[in-house]
Structure 1
């Protein structure tokens, strides 16, 4: 690790960490991590494959699910391999530019995921509240436009983060306490005024995740208002189509809130809590969401069973 004077030094690389105070367990922690990665890859690839090859699933709800699985596959691949290299190979060094690149993807992909979850909430609202207009509202062209807006919004919001860090010539330290590069941690190591970085970070949280959570909340208020006036059997059937999405939203936003709060509150008795919450925010959704949609969505569940039955039969031949 480079030596740093009290006045700072130029920086060529960052040094990543495993889980502080648990370095002696890093090798063993790598095994559940690689299991999580395998589950994330297999689960999300299965969802993508099933939706891609089954023409009956080429509907807005499943197209958004395909996009969600693709994003979560990228999130897992952006973070987990480097974490495994740290835990198993003690490969902690990451160049400055590589760190900024990883930082962009780590912040961009969750912003895209948040947008997709919002689009899925709107899709459920239109399908339940305006079923006759649903095919004419959520056309393929509309889905393409929504996807374009989500991507551009995420990129526009996140691109300033690495650029703002690149402007600092001197740094107090190069040691990061996480296993990946986060803007909110890296900016605290810079020598200089980080007020702009703090403001931009907060603006992203409130304008992207904050606005999306409000859209999702109001979408479900309108869905509940519609469902209340349906017959009991129809209302249960209508709302059952939302259960997987509600679970996905909770799995995304609860770790996000915990991670955001933990980075701004001091936990003297549990100093590793912010790191654990950040890991959960990035690592849990890619693993859990395919399981939720596989269990809660009848069409996906049936095709998953058929897919794995075919794989099993092929292996026995």
Structure 2
């Protein structure tokens, strides 16, 4: 800071004594006579402003350091506030060479670049601090985001692997189920085919043991057929219409248990098989066997006729398992023996 120059010292007078001899504001008469000094305009420099304060050599550095610290703090604060207010990253400013501490406080006016240098130094320091903090915060945020992405990716891979494993297991299970179903179906079909073949073989063998009761016939009435022609209200046998005198054969080997007239049945022959089944041959024109006679399959036991309650020549055949009065369908029974009436 600038100050006024000091006033000139008074001219030296030999008759005067040293000013050090003054004591406590009182004059001492024993010091000798004093001359009065009247300064003139020529001997005294005009005073401008306040008197200059002498530079302190011993404490100047401390004062300069204090001022420098205050200036740096102010500059840093100003730079930080500017950065915070703008919300933008501060622009780096080059720092010029700062003058030494002693030159910051001088008798002359301070150089303008000193304040600019302090401001620039504070701004750059704040910018560096901001950049460093922002970089650290950004890196931490980036690390967290990458960690979250990695975690989510890992979870997705685990779920995808589990889903793929489950899908594979389901596909294997489905394939095994389908294979078992196909194997079961094939086994069932093979069993059915084997059963059919076995049944066909059995029927073929039975067909050798059984035969149809007559030939050159026409089926005119079936079992269970309803009508007023029958006293029971329905037909109880199977009718083979054929010309009178057509041969009637034993369907299977057995024993003749009845042979004679039977009312509405006309002439009837009953053949009892080895399993107890009774076969009734009715409306015969003639009987060729007698009671107790054993016959074999295909033996002639009589001839077709029209005796009894009839409307024409035919053979009326009934089947009574175990000799029961109620008969069963003769056509179904014949088919069970390998015959197709």
Superposed pair shares fold, TM > 0.5: no
Instruction: Report which of the two structures shows the higher radius of gyration computed on alpha carbons.
Output: 2
Q: Which has the higher helix share?
A: 1
Q: Which has the higher strand share?
A: 2
TM-score computed with the length of structure 2 as normaliser: 0.16
Whose RCO is larger (CA < 8 A, sep 6+)? 1
TM-score computed with the length of structure 1 as normaliser: 0.17
